[in-house]
Amino acid sequence: MKTLFKNISALKWLAAYLLGFIFISFYSCDNSPSNQTNSAYLGGEIVNPTSEYIVLQKNGKILDSIRLDDRNRFSYRIDSVQQGIYSFGHRPEIQHFYISPGDSLLIRANTLAFDESLHFSGTGEAENNFITEMFLLDEANADLLLSFYKTSPSEFLKQTDSIKRNRLEHLERLKVKKKFSPEFVTLAEKIINYESYDLKERYIYLISKYYTEYQQKLPDNFYEYRKNVVFNDTSLQETAAYKRFIENYLTNKSLELCKRTHKDHEECFDRANTKNILNRIKMVGDLIKIPSLKNHFLLKLGAKGIVLARSREDIKVILEALRKNGFPEDQVKDMEQLGTIQLAYLPGTEIKDVPLINTKEEFVPFLNIVDKPTIIFLWSIYKDGHQEDHKLIQELRRKYPEINFVGINLDIDETTAWKIAVQKYNYNKDFEYQLGQTQINKRFFQYYLNKLLFLDDAGKVVIGDAFINSPEFESRILEFLNR
Q: What pLDDT band is residue 20 in, cutting at 50, 70 and 90?
A: very low
Q: What pLDDT band is residue 148 in, cutting at 50, 70 and 90?
A: low
Name which residue leads in pLDDT, 111 or 315: 315
- pLDDT for the residue 364: 94
pLDDT at position 272 over 50:
yes
Model pTM above 0.75: yes
The whole-angstrom separation of Cα 193 and Cα 483 is 52
pLDDT tens by residue, 31-48: 443 345 689 999 999 998
pLDDT at position 479 over 50:
yes
Q: What pLDDT band is residue 411 in, cutting at 50, 70 and 90?
A: very high
pLDDT at position 243 over 90:
yes
CB 385, CB 393: distance < 8 Å: no
Torsion of CA 54, 58, 62, 67, to 10 degrees: -20
Task: Please give the single-letter amino acid code of residue 192.
Answer: I
pLDDT at position 455 over 90:
yes
Q: What pLDDT band is residue 296 in, cutting at 50, 70 and 90?
A: very high
pLDDT more than 90, % of the chain: 66
Helices 312-324, 274-287: crossing angle, 10 deg rounding:
10
Pairing verdict, β 404-409 and 374-379: parallel
Kindly report the CA angle at 156 between 155 and 162, in degrees rounded to 5?
A: 90
For the ranges 59-63, 66-70, 91-95, 97-101, which has the lowest average pLDDT? 91-95
Beta strand extents in 301-448 (DSSP E only): 356-357, 363-364, 374-379, 404-409, 432-435
User: Which of 261, 447, 459, 442 has its CA nearest to residue 350?
Assistant: 459
Task: Tell whether domain 2-122 is in CATH 2.60.40.1120.
Answer: yes
Query: Comparing 2-122 with 356-481, is the CATH topology the same?
Result: no
- pLDDT for the residue 28: 42
- pLDDT for the residue 85: 93
pLDDT tens by residue, 87-124: 988 877 888 899 999 999 999 999 888 878 888 999 88
Domain ranges within the chain, ordered by starting residue:
2-122, 131-343, 356-481
DSSP 223: G
Question: Averaged over 119-135, what is the pLDDT?
Answer: 90
pLDDT at position 174 over 90:
yes
Question: Averaged over 259-265, what is the pLDDT?
Answer: 77
Question: 3-state DSSP call for residue 150?
Answer: coil
- pLDDT for the residue 27: 43
CB 463, CB 479: distance < 8 Å: yes
Region for residue 44 given its phi and psi (left: phi exceeds 0; alpha: psi -120 to 50; beta: otherwise): left
Question: Averaged over 340-368, what is the pLDDT?
Answer: 93
Residue 134 host element (H or E)? helix 125-148
Q: Which CATH code, of 3.20.20.140, 3.40.30.10, 3.90.79.10, 1.25.40.10, is assigned to 356-481?
A: 3.40.30.10
pLDDT at position 13 over 80:
no
